[in-house]
Amino acid sequence: MNGRGCATLEADGDGLGLVVLAEECHSNDPDQAAAREQTLKKSLEEVRERQLTNIQHSKDTERVFEAVGGDAAAQYARVRSASVILRWAIERFRREKQAPLLKRAGELFSILTAGSFERLTLAYDEKDVPHLAGLRGDGGAVPVSGLSEGAADQLLMALRIAAVEEYLTHSAPAPFIADDLFINYDDARAAAGFKVLQQLAEKTQVLFFTHHQHLVGVARTAFDGHVATAVLEPRGVPIKNVA
């Protein structure tokens, strides 16, 4: 490195010498640095978007002042500012509270659809209203209204279990009861469903009721044999344990 390059590094190195800067470079994980860079870029984009929005609101307010003037314009400015702040606060609350639930539901949805969808996302329409959508591997977003009946059932199950898991983080465990949950599933989809229930069973008791005997075999395979089954006989007849 020439003298000019060394001088530039020392000038931009917050007072650290070349040796110390070299050691810090070697100690940093390039992947983590790249991930951090992407996070900062995303945050910067959000700040810029809010800045542009605020600039536009400011221009709108100025136009109203010019058109109306006086106390009415001042009142409008106060109401408009309060509305913008309230919307920002609501959006921030939604992102912070819904993001973990949406992320987990997306993971479960991916399992249930055998990878047909990678995760869930919020897509915004022309009126800037958020709508839930499934995101495919190629980046294509499929709105709920565009899902097949089977995929819609799987989405509902993913959201339901994600909500139960979130509930269990701050409440006492309660049994999760599933009554013929996979009645419209083929064996492959049912196996994926049992895999999801297996994860839930690590947090709370899962009771699965079904009229379809073949699902017992699917469950045993999915749970690697770690499943207790019982046949519920008609009223008055004792329950028969089968495993």
Domain boundaries of the chain, sorted by first residue? 57-170, 172-243
The mean pLDDT value for 4-30 works out to 56
Q: Where are the alpha helices (DSSP H) in 2-69?
A: 3-12, 18-27, 30-67
8 confidence band (pLDDT: 50, 70, 90) = low
- The mean per-residue pLDDT over the stretch 200-219 comes to 89
Mean pLDDT to the nearest integer, 159-186: 87
Residue 178, pLDDT > 80, answer: yes
- Return the half-sphere exposure (C-beta side, CA atoms, 13 A cut-off) of residue 172: 0
Q: Taken in order 216, 219, 224, 229, is the CA torsion positive or negative?
A: negative
Q: pTM for the complete prediction? A: 0.56
- Give the other-Cβ count within 10 Å of 132's Cβ: 17
